Structure 1
Amino acid sequence: MEWLLAPPTAAAASALRGEVTAFLRRHADSPDTVDDAALIVSELLGNAVQHAGGPVWVTLDWSTDRPELVVHDLGATVDLADLPAVPDTASIRGRGLWLVSRLSPELDVVAKRGDGKRIRTVLPVRRRVEPSFDPPRRQVNPLPALDEAGPDGFGREPFLRALVVELARTAENSHGPASAEQMVAQVGATVGGQMEQEYRRAREVAGRLTPGQLAECYLRLKSAIDGDFYVISVDEDRIVLGNRRCPFGDTVRRAPALCRMTSSVFGGVAARNHGEAVVLLDERIAVGDPECRVTVLLGPAARDNPGGHHYRDGS
């Protein structure tokens, strides 16, 4: 689940804190364990709103035993090594991260290449065994902005962009976030397969695509939909790409889940040619990074990596 606080007001942070805490309490194996997690959420959201000076993106992923909370903002970064062993009790500042570091099983802060930072923490609660589907609150209007209209009204691109966002949101509201993610991933994999066939025909390529050919295929298909991807590096077991412009435009900042489309397109093509693939969305314009950075791991390198989105050849 992902949210955008823009503008990042205290009221918006309070509402989101209440929503996240209620979600944790409904699905924790013991509701009594939620208090520490709620305090962590409160501290991180409060610090981001108070000090970021710009939009704040929040992601909650409970796909494993414990939930992972990630907060992206454009404020100054901090070094966890500088946290005191014991906070200054006379000061009300600087105590939030110290408290989080004591309550959370895991905490790390990473500076973005541009402005801002990413704070990732694992919350000290566990999920009950049964699955749950809780659609997140949505305050974002996915429809095209009025200033995107031309002399004859809205064109095809803003309409189709809004259609994709609204279909994903409808699936999420009706069947839960897991269903929406599955839908976006399936669409990406299917579209990616057709684009791969077009690349093979254009380049007269047969057999398995090499890592270099995969990279060229990615650039070709993303350029066709107005992305601005470029190759950072290509090796036998991995491809690293950058991107200066998202095909979804500014809409992606209001709906970061659309990044799964890129992941499934890249991962599906790679898995069909190398058996297995993992896609790591290392940096994303959608959460305030200046550019996207995507790593695609191939074959054995994918098999040995527990993170990212995993794909296998289903043919």
Structure 2
Amino acid sequence: MSKVTSMATRDFKIELDDVSFFQGMIGTLAGTLEEVVGLEDAASFVGVVGGKIGDDLASQYVAELQGQPPNAEVLGTILVHMKSRIGGTFRIETFDEDEIVLVNSRCPFAEQVKGRPSLCMMTTNVFGRIVATANGYAHVEIEEAIATGHPVSGAGSPVASGKCKWL
């Protein structure tokens, strides 16, 4: 039997933690899907996953609200809260009785989202399921996306915007 060498017990100084590993895994998975099956099918696949995650999150927020129907401001706050819990930086820009406009300066997928627009289906479907659970219908549009290289603000942060609408 061999003895353990100092090299075997060394703490390697590499950029690796659980968050960056999973961001890299999701980014690589999305990029591979886009290359192999095409953007449309990759987005559909990511959308199905987002729908399932959205259903689960919607039920958790409904339980937290204890049967109180959320208004647009509360719905916007829920969406911002959910994204902040997973590393996104969203804020409510405007809202009225049938529309919420959100702005994002950091995607939870970090740098891995750039050039991988299929990952935007995760946001649209999760947001859509949460809003539709509350209102019966949702239409989510991402008008500008970090994934597609939309411009950087003067402060150096990418800014993406989108709308959640319902009838």
The offset of 1:166, in angstroms, is 2.8
Residue equivalent to 1:252: 113
For residues 182-261 of structure 1, the aligned pairs below 5 Å read 182-202=44-64, 204-206=65-67, 208-261=69-122
The alignment's TM-score, normalised by the length of structure 2, stands at: 0.76
The offset of 1:274, in angstroms, is 2.0
Distance 2:66 2:95 in 1: 19
User: In the alignment, is the contact (CA less than 8 A) between 1:168 and 1:183 conserved in 2?
Assistant: no
For residues 112-151 of structure 1, the aligned pairs below 5 Å read 151=13
Residue equivalent to 1:295: 163
2:129 aligned to 259, 263, 268, which one? 268
The offset of 1:173, in angstroms, is 4.6
Distance 1:294 1:205 in 2: 28
Distance 1:164 1:247 in 2: 11
Structure 2 residues without counterparts, runs of 5 or longer: 1-11, 153-158
Gap change, CA 1:205 and 1:180, over 3 Å in 2: same
Distance 2:103 2:94 in 1: 10
Count of residue pairs the alignment pairs up: 149
Structure with bigger helix share is 2
With CA pairs under 8 Å and 6+ residues apart, which has the higher RCO, 1 or 2?
2
Residue equivalent to 1:117: none
- Letter in structure 2 aligned against 1:298: W
The offset of 1:231, in angstroms, is 0.8
Gap change, CA 1:252 and 1:171, over 3 Å in 2: closer
User: In the alignment, is the contact (CA less than 8 A) between 1:196 and 1:217 conserved in 2?
Assistant: no
- Letter in structure 1 aligned against 2:17: G
Provide, for residues 103-160 of structure 1, a one-character-per-residue CA deviation record: whole Å limited to 9, x for no partner: xxxxxxxxxxxxxxxxxxxxxxxxxxxxxxxxxxxxxxxxxxxxxxx83651111211
User: In the alignment, is the contact (CA less than 8 A) between 1:283 and 1:293 conserved in 2?
Assistant: yes
For residues 51-130 of structure 1, the aligned pairs below 5 Å read none
SS of residue in 1 equivalent to 2:114? helix
SS of residue in 1 equivalent to 2:110? coil
Stretches of 4+ moved more than 6 A in 1? none
Distance 2:33 2:110 in 1: 22
The offset of 1:171, in angstroms, is 3.7
Distance 1:298 1:152 in 2: 46
Gap change, CA 1:221 and 1:274, over 3 Å in 2: same
The yes-or-no answer on 1:159 pairing with 2:21 is yes
Question: Please, what is the CA RMSD of the aligned residues?
Answer: 2.2
SS of residue in 1 equivalent to 2:140? strand
Identical counterparts, % of pairs? 30
User: In the alignment, is the contact (CA less than 8 A) between 2:72 and 2:97 conserved in 1?
Assistant: yes
Distance 1:173 1:253 in 2: 14
Provide, for residues 7-38 of structure 1, a one-character-per-residue CA deviation record: whole Å limited to 9, x for no partner: xxxxxxxxxxxxxxxxxxxxxxxxxxxxxxxx
Distance 1:181 1:257 in 2: 4
SS of residue in 2 equivalent to 1:166? helix
Give the structure with higher Rg (CA). Answer: 1
Distance 2:151 2:85 in 1: 23
